[in-house]
Amino acid sequence: MKQKKLIGIVFICSLFFIATGKVDATSGGHGFSVTPINKNKNSIRAGYFEIETKPDKQEVLSVKITNGSDNDMKIKVELNNATTNDNGITAYDATTKKDTTLKTGFSDIATIKEDTVLVKKDSSTVVDIKVSTPKEQFDGVILGGLRFSDVETEKKSTKETSAVSNNISYVIGVVLQETPKPIIPKMALNKVGADQRNYRNYISANLQNTEPVIIKELSAHAKVTKKGDTMVLYEASKNKMRMAPNSNFNFGINLENQALIPGKYLMDISGESDGIPYSFTKEFEIQKKEANDLNENSVFIKKENNTWLYVFIILGLIIVIGLIIYLIYRKSKQKRIEEGENVNEE
């Protein structure tokens, strides 16, 4: 029971972060809203679905879409797996690649008759999402999200170049569980290397939650040293992150305005996942071309202006060449003078 409450609290928090930063999109009225419908007792917890199910069973999740605007709206419905973004927050992004440890994702077992629903102005419609659980019993949880967005405003937002968009989307979370068997989180460290986000250079470590369990509180401290040296060159720490089951994300060390330097390095990263400590060390290399390309593309690294250096070099060469020519000419003239004197003496 305690485990369910904790999952619920964390899930509500994750939905809060999904809503943060969204702007209500309207079509001449009040836009649209979504509401989960409780057809099954105890299946809804504070706005999301929590289903205790069994193997090889079909569940139906019903959601009411209300169009409060003055125009008809086409609402896109996506059935997405839970992922973890690079800020350490649970997300439901359809473009995120499925984690290698995720055997059965929500998108594998959920279906909808039509992924675009027409909702008439000032009216409501109910959509049903069918979930067919695997034939074999699964441990832990399957976590997913039902994402609803207005087709027209989403089309417009993809064409906009400004940072602020009028696109709005709602996510209703879905937690599926068959057994109360507790799952212990297990972390893994995958690739480490140079990266760039929003034109800033990073050194990123791909952390992975390999188990079907929500990590409610994750901390990480990373430091980078040159291979064979003990001096810490870069480091970063972050607490109170969360991870979706069987997901991964890139924990980054922001280099601010520092340029990447080619070479071989060591990454040491440690922390706790729900109180369980983890620690990894991994060697990685930054290639010269990679460093040059990322440094050149970064707008935060102060580029050296070598114009005057080139001018001084060219002027120096001109002076040296001129001096050599003058010395040759002077020596030649002197030689001619000496030869002329000898002739007169004869």
**Among the ranges given (106-110, 149-153, 231-235), the one the predictor scored with the smallest mean pLDDT:** 149-153
**C-alpha span between 84 and 104 (Å, rounded):** 17
Higher pLDDT, 79 or 317: 79
Domain count, the chain: 2
Q: How many CA atoms lie within 13 A of 139 on its CB side?
A: 9
Q: Tell how strand 48-52 and strand 169-177 pair up.
A: parallel
pLDDT(64) > 80 = yes
Q: What is the pLDDT of residues 72-125, one digit of tens each?
A: 999 999 999 999 999 999 999 888 889 999 999 999 999 999 999 999 999 999
Alpha helices (H) along the chain: 2-19, 106-109, 151-159, 288-297, 307-345
Q: How confident is the model at residue 245, as a pLDDT?
A: 98
Predicted pLDDT at 166? 54
284 inside domain? yes
Same domain, residue pair 168 and 191: no
Residue 324 lies in a domain: no
Give the domain-ending residue among 116, 151, 177: 177
One-letter amino acid for residue 228 of the chain: G
Q: Considering only residues 340 and 71, tell me which one the structure prediction assigns the higher pLDDT.
A: 71
Q: Does 68 map to a domain?
A: yes
Looking at the structure, tell me whether residues 125 and 205 fall in a common domain. no
Instruction: Note whether 280 and 195 are same-domain residues.
Output: yes
Question: Distance between terminal CA atoms of the chain?
Answer: 125
Pair (154, 281) in one structural domain = no
Q: Which of 177, 205, 232 is where one domain is finished?
A: 177
Q: What is the DSSP string of 279-302?
A: EEEEEEEE-HHHHHHHHHH-SSS-
Say what the pLDDT of residue 29 is: 46
Q: Are residues 155 and 29 in the same domain?
A: yes
pLDDT of 156 > 90? The answer is no
Residue 320 in domain? no
103 and 244 both lie in a single domain:
no
DSSP state at residue 133: -
pLDDT, one tens digit per residue, over 170-219 is: 999 999 999 888 999 999 999 999 999 999 999 999 999 999 999 999 99
Look at residue 324 in the predicted model and tell me its pLDDT: 85
Do 154 and 267 lie in one domain? The reply is no
**CATH at residue 204:** 2.60.40.10
Residues in Cβ contact with 93 at an 8 Å cutoff, skipping those fewer than 6 apart: 80, 83, 85
- The rounded Cα 268 to chain-centroid distance in angstroms is 21
In a domain, 21, yes or no: yes
pLDDT attached to residue 152: 84
Q: Which of 251-255, 306-310, 316-320 has the highest mean pLDDT?
A: 251-255
Residue ranges making up the domain that contains 59? 2-177
| Confidence (pLDDT) at 22 | 33
Q: Could you tell me if residue 67 is inside a domain? A: yes
Q: In this predicted structure, what is the pLDDT of residue 345?
A: 45
The token duo for 306 is: 């070598």
69 and 200 co-located in one domain: no
Any domain includes 346: no
User: Are 88 and 249 in contact, with CB atoms under 8 Å apart?
Assistant: yes
Do both 173 and 191 map to the same domain? no
Domain termination site, one of 260, 282, 297: 297
Instruction: Dihedral sign for Cα 183, 186, 190, 194, please.
Output: positive
H helix intervals, 115-227 = 151-159
Backbone angles phi, psi at 302, to 5 degrees: -70, 115
Q: State residue 318's pLDDT score.
A: 86
Distance CA 213, CA 86 (A): 19
Question: Could you report the per-residue pLDDT of 10-42, keeping only the tens digit for each?
Answer: 454 444 334 333 333 333 345 999 999 977 655
Looking at residue 277, its amino acid is P
**pLDDT digits 0-9 by tens, 168-183:** 789 999 999 998 889 9
**Confidence at 331, pLDDT banded by 50, 70, 90:** confident
pLDDT on residue 161: 46
Q: Do 160 and 41 reside in the same domain of the chain?
A: yes
326 half-sphere exposure, CB direction, 13 A CA radius: 6
Averaged pLDDT score across all residues of the chain:
85
Burial 169-200 (b: 16+ CB within 10 A, else e): bbbbbbbbbbeeeeeebebebeebbbbbeeeb
Measured over the CA atoms of residue 37, residue 43, residue 48 and residue 50, the dihedral's sign is negative
Judge whether 132 lies within some domain.
yes
